[in-house]
Chain A
Amino acid sequence: MLEAVLSGCSGLLNAPTGSGKTYAAWIPLLCRHMAGLPFAGAEKKPAATAAGLTFLWITPLRALAKDIRIALQAACDAYDLGWSVELRTGDTPTAQKQAQMRQMPRVLVITPESLHLFLARKGYPKLLVGLEAVVVDEWHELLGSKRGVQVELALSRLRRLCPNLSVWGISATIGNLVQAAEVLLGPGMDPARMALVRADSRRVPEMRTLLPDTLADIAWGGHLGTRLLDKVMPVLEEAGTTLVFTNTRAQSEIWYQKLLEADPSLAGRMAMHHGSLDREIREWVEEALGAGDLKAVVCTSSLDLGVDFRPVDNVVQIGGPKGVARFIQRAGRSGHRPGAQSRIYFLPTHALELLEASALQEALLQDYVEKRVPLRACFDVLVQYLVTLALSEGFVADEILAELRSTYCFQDLSDDEWRWCLQFITVGGPSLRQYDEFRRVSWEEGLFRVTDQRVARRHRLHIGTIVGDSSLRVRYTSGGSLGTIEESFISRLKTGDSFWFAGKVLELVQVKEMDALVRRSKRKTGAVPQWGGGRMTFTSYLSRLLRSELTRVVKGGALREELVALGPLLDIQRKRSLIPDEQTLLIEVLETEDGHHIFVFPFEGRQVHEGMAGLMVWRMSRFHPGTFSMAMNDYGFELLSDQPIPVERALAEGVFEPRNLSEDLLNSVNAAEMAQRRFRDIATISGLTFPGYPGKLKKTRHLQASAGLIYRVFADYDPQNLLFRQALSEVLDHQMEEARMRTALLRISKQTIRVLKTDRPSPFAFPILVERFRERMSTETLESRIRKMQLDA
């Protein structure tokens, strides 16, 4: 690493968490600075040895920023540099930010959003003159997300302003490290100046599944898993500190509550950590964890990152982690001492997760890690970025275009697309009329600029708004805030109702503007909020393992204890239906009072199943138009209809053929309204809708229009709109994983398809049947659908 940095390279440092990766990157950079070496290609030492900004450290999470600042500062102090390392995140007080604009610290720790806000400041290029290096921490987390695209864009700007800039990423192990480096450094990067440094200290964690005593102790469906609570208690007791990872925030609320009920002595020694809690609460938890004051912390992915400095003894994973990389990373939280074995306990939340457990064991054995696929052509992020640049210094179209094409995300940006983006921010899309009052970015003397102060103010508020439901701040009537909660949840409560939040039962007193005012409730029970947000899907690697586990069961090979425990359920599955091996696609047909169901089990992950369900409905419409309710999980999908579903005919007509896939998928997308939900994020990022800014809602209320309304207006009146098209392609690429689906369909075309009638839901079908998240799709005319419907009671 030292050599690579000293030679002036840019690159990617691959190091597992807990290996001291922060210093591994930081010390060489400091050494290089102190040695006064010129950076590659530079004629002389950077001009700004006058104390300006020298290093930027980009971190994805605010929660990490503080720890990193302390670590970086400690190293500076050790070398007696007399430097200051400062934070610049959403939590930094305005006064400090202003002071920074007057006098930059030597080192700035910043989030991607705050970096973009910095680029929205007048005079930012001057402050960057002496910048020597940028470090992007946890790059694997950012890669594949729109925040990662934000980083790519900001780096393209910084590279232009500081031609000798050295850029380093730090990434945990992922399957495509070389590509990760390419995305970070830009596809045009000279390979001779690029380095990939791998810390070869891979440790395979040990995994133990918390098995039920009998299969009757574990539910067939559901996501909670609290029935196996008594299996977790001994794990807590045997160790000093335990992290209990859950997959959702709601789940952590419930687990916290159940653990406390099971062992009241945990009160005061157990805490909760998730992304909706206030920063103060989260910081307190992190500090208490570091000090070893806590017996247990129930958390979500909010603690996935950066607990580098905080060793824990045990890790419990509640419910399937859906991917191997995430699982290994979480396991890595324990046994931080060099050479120590890290260990993770897996608690299945429903019976079939025992199958997943066995597949995870296999994955650890095979030592394979998934890829993170970087995003392409995110026009929403681009539009936001262009307005950002127009806001501060203004921009010259050709200059920025060249920078954009140097990024991975926009390397193929066409001239037409570029013109469209400029048109979109200046005249608001294709213009039909001569006169229009559209006002956002204007073009004066060759420079694109924002001149309207209201547009400027609103845009600043906009950068980095977290996409999601509009959220309310949960506050005590006596003052003091606890965190944020989605409006859709609060709107279902009446005054006086109680609900769980931050591990407490709270009574809703009043909703006032963007605040939900609460007080502690005397009651012991309450509703548990559901936070929206992405639902994770099986990675294709884990899917393949799952299918081979099933094959092992069918062939009667040696089974791990997890599969042995699942035995009785597999027997029921065999009796009511069958267990499909890799060569078989199972389809079950069932009739209940809800209607006619079919269950298809490709074992390919929730996302692919979502797309396949839509595809099947669309292709059946040629001979069987109808309306279907669809549900899916990682094992299979269900179609439910008021009419019998002609499965045999559908198979004969080739509903699972890979031919015309994109076209049929897009058609089915239009019908399934998936894109409309995708569009919500896009509309927020590109500035079409204004999410509630706590305390600032009033000013923007007159511009409130739902993303759904705007989506329909685009669909009806401007279908060529690139943001509208982006919603469609996001559905194809990410939501339905078209490429992966094509592979799956090819596999299915070689499989034997078995269609079986069941008189009761099979154990495989049951978890899908009880899924509450459903999609609807219709290929009937609206009129004939309505003819069959009634007014909601």
Chain B
Amino acid sequence: MPDGLPLSWAGHEWFADASGALWWPSQRSLLLADLHFGKVGHFRREGVPIPQAAFDKSLRRLDQLLNAYQPDNLIILGDLFHSRYNLELEYFRAWRRRHKGVALQLVPGNHDVLGPKAWGDLGLENLGVQHTVEGVELVHDPGGGEASSGGAEQAAAFRMSGHIHPGVRLVGGGRQSLVLPCFWFGERQALLPAFGAFTGLHRISPGAGDCVLVLAEGKILDVSRGAAGSTQE
């Protein structure tokens, strides 16, 4: 079993992987957000020598995930590609050829400007900016678009998104503090951490009752207020 934490939330059973992917067993789907493939290449092309390995590692982590979970669907919640065409797309194509079996689905994000031609070549299915599975609304930007302001029946939907690159600050005795990427589950919505290696963080402030799972050196830990892991006096 890969390193992760099982989670019952909003009437669904999920499994949060320490890599930042979310496994949805009933759908046999693996959810990922904000891969930002091509970002390393974009910087390099402009003369900023970010190591190529940063991109290669993300692909290897994808390999490992597919081996571990054997999903039917790989659903990307936006920002699969960071920018316009560059060579990293070719390397991703090569990766795709090695993993033909899995359905690759994309909820496009603000960075996904490549367009249908490139997506078609990858055998990538465009789910549209808002896609609902089992009452869970998948979007890229949690605050964006026409979504959830809709009718009464849609108000019941639970929304899952990326875009934010969520992170939380932890504090402890001796005035220590730490900022780590995290999964965040609130009453009506959830945020996935950014999966890409060369991406930043945006700090969020979770409320009481929210579930917060932080990613730390290949491990995943529950730091929700009142969770077993956090020894709050």
Known contacts A431-B52, A432-B56, A787-B229; decide if A439 and B176 are in contact (CB<8 Å). no
How many chain B residues touch the partner (CB < 8 A)?
52
Whether the Cβ atoms of A428 and B225 lie closer than 8 Å is: no
Whether the Cβ atoms of A629 and B171 lie closer than 8 Å is: no
Surface stretch bound by A, among B42-50, B63-71, B126-134, B152-160 = B42-50
Whether the Cβ atoms of A790 and B174 lie closer than 8 Å is: no
Whether the Cβ atoms of B170 and A642 lie closer than 8 Å is: no
Determine the chain B residues whose CB is within 8 A of the CB of A709 once the complex forms: 198-200
Q: Which of B46, B51, B230 contacts A714 (CB 8 A)?
A: B51
Residue of B with least CB distance to A686? B49
Whether the Cβ atoms of A778 and B223 lie closer than 8 Å is: no
Whether the Cβ atoms of B225 and A791 lie closer than 8 Å is: yes
> How far, in whole Å, are A436 and B91 apart by their CA atoms in the complex?
11
Q: Does B1 contact A (CB under 8 A)?
A: no
Residue of B with least CB distance to A703? B46
Q: Which of A432, A594, A785 contacts B175 (CB 8 A)?
A: A594
Surface stretch bound by A, among B8-16, B19-27, B139-147, B213-221 = B213-221
Q: Which of A415-442 contact B (CB under 8 A)?
A: 424, 428-433, 435-440
Residue of B with least CB distance to A792? B169
Q: Min CB distance, B95 to chain A, in Å?
A: 13
Q: Does B197 contact A (CB under 8 A)?
A: yes
Determine the chain A residues whose CB is within 8 A of the CB of B174 once the complex forms: 594-595, 627-629, 640-642
Whether the Cβ atoms of A705 and B178 lie closer than 8 Å is: no
Q: Which of A628, A688, A713, A789 contacts B178 (CB 8 A)?
A: A789
> How far, in whole Å, are A785 and B179 apart by their CA atoms in the complex?
12
Whether the Cβ atoms of A790 and B232 lie closer than 8 Å is: yes
Whether the Cβ atoms of B47 and A458 lie closer than 8 Å is: yes
> How far, in whole Å, are A571 and B229 apart by their CA atoms in the complex?
48
Whether the Cβ atoms of B178 and A439 lie closer than 8 Å is: no
Q: Which of B47, B86, B87, B170 contacts A452 (CB 8 A)?
A: B47
Whether the Cβ atoms of B52 and A432 lie closer than 8 Å is: yes
> How far, in whole Å, are A710 and B198 apart by their CA atoms in the complex?
8
> How far, in whole Å, are A778 and B214 apart by their CA atoms in the complex?
18
Among B47, B173, B219, B232, find the residue whose CB has the most chain A CB atoms closer than 10 A: B47
Determine the chain B residues whose CB is within 8 A of the CB of A706 once the complex forms: 200
1/0 per residue, CB under 8 A from B, across A477-492: the answer is 0000000000000000
Q: Min CB distance, B208 to chain A, in Å?
A: 10
Whether the Cβ atoms of B45 and A782 lie closer than 8 Å is: no
> How far, in whole Å, are A440 and B173 apart by their CA atoms in the complex?
47
> How far, in whole Å, are A717 and B231 apart by their CA atoms in the complex?
35
Q: Which of A702-752 contact B (CB under 8 A)?
A: 702-703, 705-706, 709-710, 713-714, 716-718, 721
Whether the Cβ atoms of A703 and B216 lie closer than 8 Å is: no
Determine the chain A residues whose CB is within 8 A of the CB of B180 once the complex forms: 786
Determine the chain B residues whose CB is within 8 A of the CB of A782 once the complex forms: 216-217, 219
Whether the Cβ atoms of A717 and B173 lie closer than 8 Å is: no
Q: Which of B53, B91, B206, B216 contacts A783 (CB 8 A)?
A: B216
Determine the chain A residues whose CB is within 8 A of the CB of B46 once the complex forms: 439, 454-455, 458, 703
Q: Which of B170, B175, B232 contacts A792 (CB 8 A)?
A: B170
Q: Does B212 contact A (CB under 8 A)?
A: yes
Residue of A with least CB distance to B53? A717
Whether the Cβ atoms of A716 and B52 lie closer than 8 Å is: no
Q: Which of A684-714 contact B (CB under 8 A)?
A: 687-688, 702-703, 705-706, 709-710, 713-714
1/0 per residue, CB under 8 A from A, across B68-110: the answer is 0000000000000001001100110000000000000000000
Q: Does A193 contact B (CB under 8 A)?
A: no
Q: Min CB distance, A367 to chain B, in Å?
A: 43
Q: Which of B41, B50, B52, B229 contacts A786 (CB 8 A)?
A: B229
> How far, in whole Å, are A716 and B52 apart by their CA atoms in the complex?
11
Whether the Cβ atoms of B230 and A688 lie closer than 8 Å is: no
> How far, in whole Å, are A790 and B180 apart by their CA atoms in the complex?
12
Determine the chain A residues whose CB is within 8 A of the CB of B176 once the complex forms: 627-629, 776, 778, 785, 789
Determine the chain A residues whose CB is within 8 A of the CB of B7 once the complex forms: none
Q: Does A575 contact B (CB under 8 A)?
A: no
Q: Min CB distance, A350 to chain B, in Å?
A: 22
Whether the Cβ atoms of A429 and B49 lie closer than 8 Å is: yes
Q: Which of A437, A641, A718 contacts B86 (CB 8 A)?
A: A437
How many chain A residues touch the partner (CB < 8 A)?
52
Determine the chain A residues whose CB is within 8 A of the CB of B91 once the complex forms: 433
Q: Min CB distance, B16 to chain A, in Å?
A: 15
> How far, in whole Å, are A775 and B151 apart by their CA atoms in the complex?
52
Determine the chain A residues whose CB is within 8 A of the CB of B223 once the complex forms: 786, 789-791
Residue of A with least CB distance to B47? A440
Whether the Cβ atoms of A428 and B169 lie closer than 8 Å is: no
Q: Does A774 contact B (CB under 8 A)?
A: yes
Whether the Cβ atoms of B47 and A437 lie closer than 8 Å is: no
Q: Min CB distance, A511 to chain B, in Å?
A: 19
Whether the Cβ atoms of A776 and B177 lie closer than 8 Å is: yes
Whether the Cβ atoms of B52 and A433 lie closer than 8 Å is: yes
Determine the chain A residues whose CB is within 8 A of the CB of B197 once the complex forms: 713, 716-717
> How far, in whole Å, are A452 and B48 apart by their CA atoms in the complex?
13
Q: Which of A430, A595, A703 contacts B48 (CB 8 A)?
A: A703
Q: Min CB distance, B210 to chain A, in Å?
A: 9
Q: Does A788 contact B (CB under 8 A)?
A: yes
> How far, in whole Å, are A24 and B141 apart by their CA atoms in the complex?
68
Q: Min CB distance, B67 to chain A, in Å?
A: 22
Q: Which of A431, A458, A595 contacts B173 (CB 8 A)?
A: A595
Known contacts A709-B198, A713-B197, A792-B168; decide if A438 and B44 are in contact (CB<8 Å). yes
Whether the Cβ atoms of B45 and A437 lie closer than 8 Å is: yes
> How far, in whole Å, are A439 and B46 apart by their CA atoms in the complex?
6
> How far, in whole Å, are A438 and B45 apart by their CA atoms in the complex?
4
Known contacts A713-B198, A717-B54; decide if A785 and B49 are in contact (CB<8 Å). no
Whether the Cβ atoms of B219 and A791 lie closer than 8 Å is: no
Whether the Cβ atoms of A713 and B54 lie closer than 8 Å is: yes
Known contacts A439-B47, A786-B221, A790-B232; decide if A642 and B172 are in contact (CB<8 Å). yes
Whether the Cβ atoms of A788 and B47 lie closer than 8 Å is: no
Determine the chain A residues whose CB is within 8 A of the CB of B198 once the complex forms: 705, 709, 713
> How far, in whole Å, are A629 and B169 apart by their CA atoms in the complex?
16
Q: Does B149 contact A (CB under 8 A)?
A: no
Whether the Cβ atoms of A792 and B177 lie closer than 8 Å is: yes
Known contacts A439-B45, A439-B46, A713-B198; decide if A785 and B172 are in contact (CB<8 Å). yes
Q: Which of B49, B52, B170, B205 contacts A790 (CB 8 A)?
A: B170
> How far, in whole Å, are A627 and B212 apart by their CA atoms in the complex?
22
1/0 per residue, CB under 8 A from B, across A763-793: the answer is 0000000000010101000110111111110
Whether the Cβ atoms of A424 and B49 lie closer than 8 Å is: yes
Known contacts A431-B52, A718-B53; decide if A791 and B173 are in contact (CB<8 Å). no
Known contacts A783-B219, A788-B173, A790-B230; decide if A688 and B200 are in contact (CB<8 Å). no
Residue of A with least CB distance to B203? A792
Determine the chain B residues whose CB is within 8 A of the CB of A641 once the complex forms: 173-174
Q: Does B28 contact A (CB under 8 A)?
A: no
Whether the Cβ atoms of A787 and B173 lie closer than 8 Å is: no
Whether the Cβ atoms of B44 and A436 lie closer than 8 Å is: yes
> How far, in whole Å, are A433 and B42 apart by their CA atoms in the complex?
16
Q: Does B188 contact A (CB under 8 A)?
A: no
Q: List 25 A-B contacts (CB under 8 A).
A: A424-B49, A429-B51, A430-B51, A432-B56, A436-B87, A438-B49, A458-B46, A628-B174, A628-B176, A640-B175, A642-B174, A702-B83, A703-B43, A703-B48, A705-B198, A709-B200, A716-B197, A718-B51, A776-B175, A782-B217, A786-B221, A787-B221, A788-B173, A791-B169, A791-B212
Besides A432-B53, A705-B43, 8 new A-B residue pairs in contact (Cβ under 8 A), listed by A number: A428-B48, A436-B41, A437-B87, A627-B176, A716-B197, A782-B216, A791-B223, A792-B171
Chain B residues engaging chain A, CB cutoff 8 angstroms: 41-54, 56-57, 83, 86-87, 90-91, 168-178, 180, 197-200, 205-206, 212, 214, 216-217, 219, 221, 223-225, 229-232
Chain A residues engaging chain B, CB cutoff 8 angstroms: 424, 428-433, 435-440, 452, 454-455, 458, 594-595, 627-629, 640-642, 687-688, 702-703, 705-706, 709-710, 713-714, 716-718, 721, 774, 776, 778, 782-783, 785-792
3 closest cross-chain pairs (CB), A and B: A642-B173, A428-B49, A440-B47
